[in-house]
Structure 1
Amino acid sequence: MSKLSEGEIQNRLKELDGWEYKEDAIHTSFEFENFKEAFSVMVRIAFEAEAQQHHPEWRNVYNELTISLSTHDTGGVTEKDFKLARTIEEIVDAG
């Protein structure tokens, strides 16, 4: 999988609401009703990430979830990151 250019990344980010590109990764954050809801979404994301063999860097504090995606093997953002980002969006939207 090849690393995407900054132009390609910015173009693809137009399809994702609330995501931004910085420091060779795409980032977003979500706020949920409570910790239980945040953790439930994290579990669903974890199963999908494992199925895609691509794992997020994330941080959870109470009802907030912050996610960063980057393909470490290439040192930047690839299509794998956007595939997982779209999956994450679907999971969060399904709430």
Structure 2
Amino acid sequence: MANIMTGDDLQKALRDWLPDWEAAPSSRAIRKSFKFTDFRAAMAFMNAVAEDAERMNHHPDWSNSYNRVEVELATHDAGGVTERDIELARAMENHAPKGP
């Protein structure tokens, strides 16, 4: 089983690798809201991430409403955030739109 990231380790990972992400209030998940130009762009993002998630065998909890995708990541069998969540979040960032 993967080690849960907590406290300083989790905050350091977010600060160093995922500055636009935040720990959920419980610190048992990390989350981010992605905004896109339109629905098609949001769906393209979700489809690209789905390929990564399948390859990693690690799947996000997420929802879509028009041009927004809300994401929450946790390793459920570990009961919190692990390196797998950080890795998937970084993959998501690679597919996210760049710029303002």
Normalising by structure 1, report the TM-score. 0.94
Gaps of 5+ in 2: none
Structure 1 stretches (4+) deviating beyond 2 angstroms? none
Does residue 47 (structure 1) correspond to residue 57 (structure 2)? The answer is: no
Aligned residue number for residue 17 of structure 1: 19
How many residue pairs match? The answer is 94
Report the alpha carbon displacement of residue 92 of structure 1 after superposing the two structures with TM: 1.0
Given that residues 36 and 97 in structure 2 are in contact (C-alpha distance below 8 angstroms), is that contact kept between their aligned partners in structure 1? no
**Partner SS for 2:32:** strand
What CA deviation, in whole Å up to 9, does each residue of 1:17-56 have, x standing for no partner? 3100013100001110100010011000001000000000
SS at match of 1:76: coil
Counterpart in the other structure of 2:39: 35
> Structure 1 stretches of 5 or more lacking a match?
none
Whole-angstrom distance in 2 between the partners of 1:64 and 1:86: 18
User: What RMSD, in angstroms, separates the aligned Cα atoms of the two structures?
Assistant: 1.1
Match of 2:65 in 1: 61
Alignment identity in percent? 39
